[in-house]
Every structure is written in structure tokens, then in C-alpha cells.
Amino acid sequence: MTVHFPFQNSYSALPDSFFARVAPTPVAAPRLIKLNRPLAVQLGLDPDLLETPEGAEILAGKTVPAGADPIAMAYAGHQFGNFVPQLGDGRAILLGEVIDQDGARRDIQLKGSGPTPFSRRGDGRAALGPVLREYIVSEAMFALGIPTTRSLAAVVTGEHVMRETVLPGAVLTRVASSHIRVGTFQFFAVRRDTEAIRRLADHVIARHYPELIDAERPYHALLAGVVARQANLIARWLLVGFIHGVMNTDNSSISGETIDYGPCAFMDAYNPSQVFSSIDEMGRYAYANQPRIALWNLTRLAECLLPLFDEEQEKAIAEAQDILGAFSETFSVAYQAGLRKKVGLFTERDGDDALIQDLLDAMAKNQADFTLTFRKLADAAGDPDADDARAQFMDPGAFDEWAKRWRERTALEPQSAAERQAAMHAVNPLFIPRNHRVEAVIQAALADDFTPFEEFVKVLQKPFEDQPDYAAYADPPLPDQRVLQTFCGT
């Protein structure tokens, strides 16, 4: 039987200026190392056929399936604040779109599938390490309930790529609600192509915000919708200690999904100034800066949409500023509500925000592990004698002082200790893709041992559940295991 992809390609039906038609470059000897079988089923694909040699050839870009209309998408972007008028998919090719079992349109894209007209002297390939990192982290984010692109498959190509050294080549099959970015709008704005901006905005509304089609001012409503989704997304990042690492405008999704997992990482010890990206020397994309940068990116989107708002620029700017003004409140509401859930508060009272901030301040001062502090606090909610949370603090007395106030506050609520613990366990993960574990998995894979990768992915599928057989995966790194820098996958 032949692997069948029920493609319906709406983006490639847009004008030619939106993309370049280009086929993936065939590779020597593709070998499937991981297929996300549940996701394949969700997409209406046959996982058994995808696991055949024919399936591996498709997932590596060696064979283009029937119905595909492969394209490299055009976009621009601000990279660390510097504008580049043409970026585009330099090592990714969108095969097409499918309608999943929930009726949602999903892109199927190959990353590392060869050069495109946007490659800018790059080889268009990907190394195995970054492919595995994106697979691990994106699927972990999905299990954590955070909007994200997904990983359908990872394939080794049988070829090598040259980076700082010679590395095995690989291809990731990425699934997204779409790959339309703030930078996609910027590509046309810098060219003053207002009609293309309008076509793109109409496409985005129809695809991602269909409830806005009949809005009185649909383009204003579109900006408001993107602002709301991004504000909620960034709040959810912060609530699990996630640092994206490269929040450039070309890595900011219009759909509200987390996209482009390059030098991303989850914090171990809580530090609002934490930076992992090797190229973020000024800390632009540090953990605590992410809300501010998201608003900066959204402001760039608003600039692109101004011609659709009003012919009078001053009026258009005022309207855009009014919409952007909602970001801070939307983010704050989502973030504070999430923090209350993390510490087991079901109601709101005066002083709650200060109580939670005092915990965060003590965590930062005492280098407390972000994930384990909240998880062990959940244990303490159900057992007054549980002291694993205080063990995260260099000065356990700092936790004791705070915990006394916390217990006084929770005593004012009607929920039982068991109810509070269950609710806290449901929002405070035990297992996250810690950097040192990701690196260990990659090193094993470079020696062609994918057993640690398989086990790690399995554990991360159930981040909120106690998994006694895999308890070691919850441990923070020892001093000699700490990973202080992560790198882009290009």
C-alpha cells in the first residue's frame, strides 16, 4: 500500500510572492528513528505505513507524496532587535496541509530537508541533536498543555552535516496550526504591499480566527485576538519555567503556538534573569523579559496592520495602541491566576499576590529549583510533615517563614488538604525536559543509541504523574551536570 496524505493546500493557493515552490532535496539512506503514532492517527495518517521504508523516505524528503505542494514560505523579521527584510524558510519545506480528526487544518513541514531560495549560503540541513531537542521539548510542551507545534517524526538521513564538527544529518517532521509569523506580515509591510497584507490577514482570520470574519472591524479584531493568545501563551511559559531563547518576530506565531525550539530551555534554579541562549549576550530574551518582548513583537505586527486600520495614520496608530494596551492586563490576569493555582489558592484575597511574590523572591535568593519547589509544595499541602519543599532552599528557614503564612492563608478556604494537593499536582509538573537530560539523550543518540531518547519521551508524556520507576528523571542536575548554554540548530 502507498502512504496517503489527504492534503488540502490553502497557503500555496495564495499569490506566488508568499513563497517559493521548491522540492525537498533527496537524502542518501533515510532511517526512521521515531514516529509519533498518536499524532499520526490524529492527522488521519496510517502509522503502520509511515513506519515502512516508503514512509521513511517521505518523512526525510526523499520522496514527495501525492497531493503535496511543497513550498518554502517567505517572511522577514527582527532578529535580536535588528530587522532583516528577507529571511524565509531556509531549511524547511511545507509539504502541505491536512484536516485532522477534530476538523482543524494542520501544516506538515519538513525541517532540515535541503536548501531553498531563502537559505542564504546555508546548506538547508539539520543535525541530529537539534532535531531530537525539538522533538523532546515540543512534545513535552504539548503534554504540559501549552499551545505548541508538534513533532510527527524524526529521521536520520544517512548523510552528515558540517557544523563545528561533522554530525549526523536528520529531518524533523513538524506539525503546526500554521507557520505564519509576525515576520510574514513584516515581509510585505517592508515592501509596502498593502494588498498582500490584506490577503494574508484575510487568510489568517479564515484559518485561525473564523469567529472574526463578520466582525465590524475584522483587522482590529485580528490584532486583538493575536494579542490575547500571545499574552496567555507567555504566561503559561513562565508558569513552567520555560525560556524560548530566540523570541525574534520571525519566531512569533500568529496562531498563538510556541514555535521554533532552538536554544530553548527549562530553568532549574529559579532566576528571573536566566538566559541559556549562547547568542543572547545582552539577555534580551531572558526568562523575565519574555512578556515585554512579546509585546514588542506584537507592536511590530500592529505596525504592519496600520494600512488596514485607517487611511489617516494618526488615527490608525491610536487604535493600534489601544488594542496593544490590553496585553499587560491579559498577561497579568493569566499569570497571577496560574500562580494562585500553583500554590493551591482557589479564591482571591488581598495580599495573595504579595504572598506569592515573596515565595518567588525567596526562591531566587536561595537558588531553589523552580519545578521541584512547586511540586513539593503540593506534597506539603496534603501532608504537613512533608519537608521536601524546604530542602530546595539554601536557607530552609526562609521557606519555613513563608510556609507559615501560606498555611494560615490556605486555612481560610473550605477545600480539604487532599483536594488542594490534587489540584496542585494537576498544575505543577514533576517531569520536565531538563537540559542535562536532553544533552545526555543527544550524546547517546550520536553513538546510535536511541534507547535513552525513547525512555525520556515516554516519561515526559505524563509530566504530572508520579512515575516511581523513572523518579531519577525529576532530579535537578548535579553541579558537574549543569548545562549553562544552549545553541541554535542552524
| Vertex 459 angle, CA 463 and 451, to 5° | 160
**For residue 472, what are the contacts with CB-CB under 8 A and spacing of at least 6?**
none
**How many Å apart are CA 11 and CA 1, to the nearest integer?**
29
Q: Which residues are catalytic?
A: 250
